[in-house]
Structure formats: C-alpha cells, structure tokens
C-alpha cells in the first residue's frame, strides 16, 4: 500500500524548478502539435477539393473525423493513464499521432486521408489530458496555476498559428507538408519525452469499464457529430442533426446512470462532490461556448467582409494571442497565491469590453480599433481559461488528477463544438434575413465579388458586417453570464487548496477523498 504523501519534488519553493520546466517543455511541444492540427487543416480544405476532386461536404470530414476521434478517445485517457502509466501512454500517443500524420501526407484520395485523420486524432486526443496530468503531478498543488499558464501556450498558438502555418506551407511547398512537419517535431518530442518524463508506476487494480466505454465514447462522438452538422443544414430540426445528437445524448445519459452505480467507472462522476470542480466545470462550459463560438467569427469577418487572405487573417488575430501571453504567466502566479475567483471575474469583464467593439462592426471599421479590442480580449483570456482549470484541479488528490483532467478536456471539446455550431447558425440566419448580405455572401463563396456593381458590393459588405455584429451580441451575453458561476470560484489560496469534501459539508468520513498517494 502506498503511504500518504504529496506530489514529488514540489519543495517549499513556489517557483517552477528546472525539472518541472523540462517536463513542461515536453508537454507543450506535444500539445502544440495536437492543437495546431485542428486548425492548420482548415486552410487546406479548398486545396483538398481541387486535388481530390471532392465536394465541400466531403473534404469537411478531414476536420470532422479528427474532432470525433479526439472526442472518442478522451474518455479512456484517465483509466489508461492509471493502468499503463502516463509516460508510456504519452509515448504511445505521440507514435499514433506521428504515424497518422505521415499516412495523411501519403494519402492518394480523400477516403484514405479521412481514415488517416482518425488515427491522428486517436493519438492527439490523449496528448492534452495526459499533458495536464503529467504537469499537475510534477508541480504539485501549490503551483498548479503556473503550470496551467504554461499549458495555455499551445491553446493560444493553435487558433492563431494554425492558419498562418498552413497557408505558408501550402504556398511555399505543398499540402503534404502540413502533415509531414509533424514527423521531425514528433521525433524530437518522443526523444525528449523518453528522456525527461519521470518514470511512473501504474496501479492496475481497477478493471476496465467496458460498458462505460461502449456508452460514453460513441455517445460523445454522435452528439458532437450532430452538433457539428448544424451549420451545414442551417437548423437543429434536420434529421441529420437530430438523429445522431439524440442517440448520443441517450448514450451519455445511460453512461451517467451506469457510472453512478459502478465502483470504478470510466469517468468518476463522484468528482462532482467536490464543489470547486463542479463550479469550475459550469464556468468553463459557459466560457468555452461563448469564447470558442466567437473565436470562429473573427477570421470569418476578416476573410469575408474585408477580403483578406487566410494568411493575413491569421496575422490579424495575433494581438489576441499577444494579450493572453502578457497576462497568463501573471495570472498563473496570482492564482497560486490568491485563488482564481477575482482574476476570472476581471478577465470576463475585459473580454466583454473587447468584444463590445465587435457588436458595432461595419465594413470599414478601423483596424487599429479592432486589433486593440482583440488585444484587450486576449488580456482577459489569459486571466480566465487557465485559472478556471486550476480551480478544477487544485483540490483533487494525486490519484484523481488523471480523471479530473479527462473530465475537463471533455467539457472543452463539447463546449467548443456547441459554441461553434450555435454561432454559425445565428450568423447564417442573420445573413439569410438580409437580401444584400445573402447576395454578397453568395458572391464571396463563389469567388465572384469582383463581378458585383460597386453599390451592391458596398451594400453587401455593410449588411454582412451588421450580421457579424448582431451575432457578437449573443456571444457577449454568454460571456457576461459566466460571471454568475465565477462568483463562486475560490478567492483565497487556502480555499483553493482545500477539498470541500474534507470540510464537513454534509459528507461522512467514508465519502471523503482518499489521501494523496504516489503512483
């Protein structure tokens, strides 16, 4: 039996020591590859259409298949980390991801490309929750805010760097290189992970929850498939949307019923007895729906209204990432010292202020104003996402971290898909309700805006800009709603570090969290 102990090597020093920074570097490299691949492919979709003579709906599966594979594999990550050890599983995930990348590069048709993207997603889906688990265990509970700030770097670089990198590689080389670039990066990441990540001793005492796996993984995948189909059909009432989404929700509901009755379920829903984690999950869910949904609209406005190239649209989004990089390390340190509550509230206010500019969009809105607003939003994002994650994980025991990380990644994946779908449908409906916007949008899709008369061109751009602005009104309301659960986040270091289950809040001794143990 393991003796009660804290996480290794935390010491009394709050600073991230050299060993933890090495682990962080390995984890960030793997996470960057995984997250970049979600966005880097988006710029290659037109190339896939012409290269493989495929329809828009067909090539879209190169993104959908990757996302669904991520959703399907994330639930098993917590159990697999406990069963096989985080280091072994991390190395295996890297191999799967790189192998999938190489197969993508050598795909001779759209079908094999989609299949290779599934393999790539199976590996990539485990990299982020595993990375969170490894870093949290390496740093210990007193430094979770700082390690979460480090892990936030790939979350920022993905949406910003993906379109820039993808556009550049396609321009200077070919589409194959958006996948082949993962080969040298993956080899470096594998060698570094093998040498740097600490050896862990898996505890294979729990049997695998096959029933839970059969319910939750396909349930999540089907639900997200239905949700991601909403923009294509323009309504939630379409059979192609409702059928998979309802079946998915039924399977997820069945999993909840199963998990509450089983001793060692695939995802331990008893973690929600921890009030800090529950509040963080609610806050994160609202925030991801609002912010990820709005994030979809930023490049679309620059591309469709302002006529910028994909590469330039990515560059114009850079101030948001720069703003987040300014506040994220500061927020990480302050979270560890004062708790995330006040920081998150301040971050939400900054995001709402920055987003307010976008509710007043016009076809010729000053770039200086837009880029400044994106920078302010980035400042707010750096104070929001990772402190919320810290609030979720800081009070978990060492043995619960893997399951908690998995749970938070499921929340992020689901919330992001819902936000993207909701904002897409709202924007589409605003466009369809305006004749000038509809005509101009159709010309944009056909690449024929230069054929429109000057007066129709100007009217269409203004109408489309107005549609974006009206959609941002919904996004800003969702952002403001995040304030309600955020009010209940921990506001002190002591409150953040304490598991509410150990405070006598209606829990008997048998239900209290077990002592922290070394794996």
Helix (H, G, I), strand (E, B) or coil at 517: strand
Q: What is the mean pLDDT of the chain?
A: 78
- Structure-token match 């007066």, residue found: 455
Question: Which of the four pLDDT bands, split at 50, 70 and 90, describes residue 173?
Answer: confident
Report the residue count for the chain. Answer: 519
CB 197 within 8 A of CB 134: yes
Question: Which of the four pLDDT bands, split at 50, 70 and 90, describes residue 239?
Answer: confident
CA of residue 21 relative to chain centroid, distance? 23
Average pLDDT over residues 319-339: 82
Question: Which of the four pLDDT bands, split at 50, 70 and 90, describes residue 182?
Answer: confident
pLDDT digits (tens, 9 = 90+) for 42-54: 667 777 877 888 7
Among residues 221, 218, 222, 224, which one has the least CA distance to residue 418? 224
Contacts of 93 by beta carbon, 8 Å cutoff, 6+ apart:
30, 123, 124, 126, 127, 130
Alpha-carbon distances of 271 from 71, 315, 341, 415, 449, rounded to whole Å: 20, 41, 20, 19, 54
Report the sign of the C-alpha dihedral through residues 224, 226, 231, 235, in that order: negative
CB 38 within 8 A of CB 66: yes
Residue 349 pLDDT more than 90?
yes
Q: 341-358 and 318-338 helices cross at what angle (nearest 10)?
A: 160
- DSSP assignment of 367-384 equals HHHHHHHHHHHHHHHHTT
**Count of other CB atoms within 10 angstroms of residue 235:** 11
CB 415 within 8 A of CB 284: yes
Around 302, how many Cα atoms within 13 Å sit in the side-chain half-sphere?
A: 21
DSSP-derived letter for residue 199 is: P
CB 127 within 8 A of CB 30: yes
Measured CA to CA, the distance from residue 191 to residue 184 in angstroms comes to 11
Question: Which of the four pLDDT bands, split at 50, 70 and 90, describes residue 353?
Answer: very high
Per-residue pLDDT, 404: 75
Bridge partners (DSSP) of residue 517 are 4
Contacts of 138 by beta carbon, 8 Å cutoff, 6+ apart:
7, 8, 9, 19, 20, 23, 147, 198
User: Which of the two residues, 368 and 342, has the higher pLDDT score?
Assistant: 368
Tokens of 410: 């499921």
Measured CA to CA, the distance from residue 214 to residue 269 in angstroms comes to 17
Vertex 201 angle, CA 75 and 8, to 5°: 95
Phi-psi region of 334 (alpha: psi -120 to 50; beta: other; left: phi over 0): alpha
Phi and psi at 517, nearest 5°, equal: -125, 155
Question: Which of the four pLDDT bands, split at 50, 70 and 90, describes residue 141?
Answer: low
CB 311 within 8 A of CB 164: yes
**Count of other CB atoms within 10 angstroms of residue 433:** 12
Bridge partners (DSSP) of residue 4 are 517
Alpha-carbon distances of 292 from 138, 190, 232, 418, rounded to whole Å: 29, 30, 18, 9
CB 119 within 8 A of CB 96: yes
Measured CA to CA, the distance from residue 294 to residue 317 in angstroms comes to 13
Q: What is the four-CA torsion angle of 498, 328, 37, 226, rounded to 10 degrees?
A: 60
Of 42-51, 211-220, 394-403, 469-478, the range with the lowest mean pLDDT is: 394-403
Measured CA to CA, the distance from residue 320 to residue 214 in angstroms comes to 40
Radius of gyration of the chain, Cα coordinates, nearest whole angstrom: 23
CB 294 within 8 A of CB 422: no
Which of 47-61, 75-89, 262-276, 458-472 reaches the highest mean pLDDT?
Answer: 458-472
Residue 514 pLDDT more than 70?
no
Measured CA to CA, the distance from residue 334 to residue 387 in angstroms comes to 9
Residue 96 pLDDT more than 50?
yes
Among residues 510, 467, 497, which one has the least CA distance to residue 140? 497
Contacts of 464 by beta carbon, 8 Å cutoff, 6+ apart:
304, 305, 363, 431, 437, 440, 441
Q: What is the four-CA torsion angle of 201, 207, 212, 214, rounded to 10 degrees?
A: 100
pLDDT digits (tens, 9 = 90+) for 279-320: 888 888 888 888 877 877 887 788 788 888 767 877 888 888
């Amino acid at each position: 039996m393991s003796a009660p102990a804290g996480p290794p090597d935390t010491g009394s020093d709050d600073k991230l020591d050299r060993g933890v920074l090495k682990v962080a570097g390995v984890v960030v490299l793997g996470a960057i590859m995984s997250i970049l691949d979600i966005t880097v492919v988006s710029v290659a979709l037109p190339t896939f259409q012409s290269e493989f003579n495929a329809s828009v709906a067909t090539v879209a599966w190169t993104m959908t298949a990757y996302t669904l594979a991520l959703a399907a594999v994330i639930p098993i990550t917590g159990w697999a980390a406990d069963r096989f050890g985080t280091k072994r599983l991390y190395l295996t995930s890297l191999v799967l991801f790189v192998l999938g990348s190489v197969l993508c590069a050598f795909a001779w048709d759209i079908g094999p490309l989609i299949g290779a993207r599934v393999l790539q997603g199976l590996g990539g889906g485990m990299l982020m929750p595993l990375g969170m688990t490894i870093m949290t265990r390496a740093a210990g509970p007193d430094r979770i805010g700082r390690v979460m700030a480090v892990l936030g770097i790939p979350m920022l670089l993905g949406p910003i760097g993906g379109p820039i990198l993808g556009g550049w590689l396609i321009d200077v080389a070919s589409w194959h290189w958006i996948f082949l670039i993962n080969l040298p990066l993956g080899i470096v990441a594998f060698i570094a992970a093998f040498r740097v990540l600490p050896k862990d001793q898996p505890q294979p005492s729990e049997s695998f929850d096959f029933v839970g796996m059969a319910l939750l993984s396909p349930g999540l995948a089907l639900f997200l498939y239905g949700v991601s189909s909403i923009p294509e059909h323009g309504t939630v009432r379409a059979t192609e949307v409702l059928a998979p989404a309802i079946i998915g929700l039924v399977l997820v509901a069945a999993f909840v019923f199963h998990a509450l009755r089983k001793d060692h379920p695939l995802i331990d829903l008893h973690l929600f007895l921890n009030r800090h984690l529950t509040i963080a999950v609610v806050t994160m869910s609202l925030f991801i729906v609002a912010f990820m949904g709005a994030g979809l609209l930023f490049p679309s406005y620059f591309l469709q209204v302002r006529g910028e190239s994909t590469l330039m649209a990515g560059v114009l989004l850079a101030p948001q990432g720069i703003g987040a990089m300014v506040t994220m390390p500061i927020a990480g340190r302050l979270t560890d010292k004062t708790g995330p509550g006040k920081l998150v509230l301040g971050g939400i206010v900054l995001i709402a202020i920055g987003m307010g500019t976008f509710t007043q969009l016009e076809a010729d809105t000053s770039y200086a104003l837009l880029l400044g607003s994106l920078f302010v939003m980035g400042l707010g994002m750096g104070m929001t996402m990772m402190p919320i994650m810290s609030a979720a994980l800081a009070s978990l025991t060492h043995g619960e971290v893997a399951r908690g990380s998995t749970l938070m990644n499921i929340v992020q994946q689901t919330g992001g898909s819902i936000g993207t779908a909701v904002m897409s449908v709202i924007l589409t409906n605003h466009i369809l309700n305006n004749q000038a916007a509809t005509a101009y949008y159709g010309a944009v899709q056909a690449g024929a805006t230069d054929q429109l008369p000057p007066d129709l061109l100007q009217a269409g751009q203004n109408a489309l800009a107005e549609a974006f602005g009206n959609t941002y009104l919904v996004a800003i309301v969702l952002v403001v709603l995040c304030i309600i659960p955020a009010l209940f986040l921990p506001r002190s270091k002591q409150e953040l570090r304490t598991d509410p289950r150990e405070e006598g809040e209606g829990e008997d001794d048998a239900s209290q969290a077990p002592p922290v143990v070394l794996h």
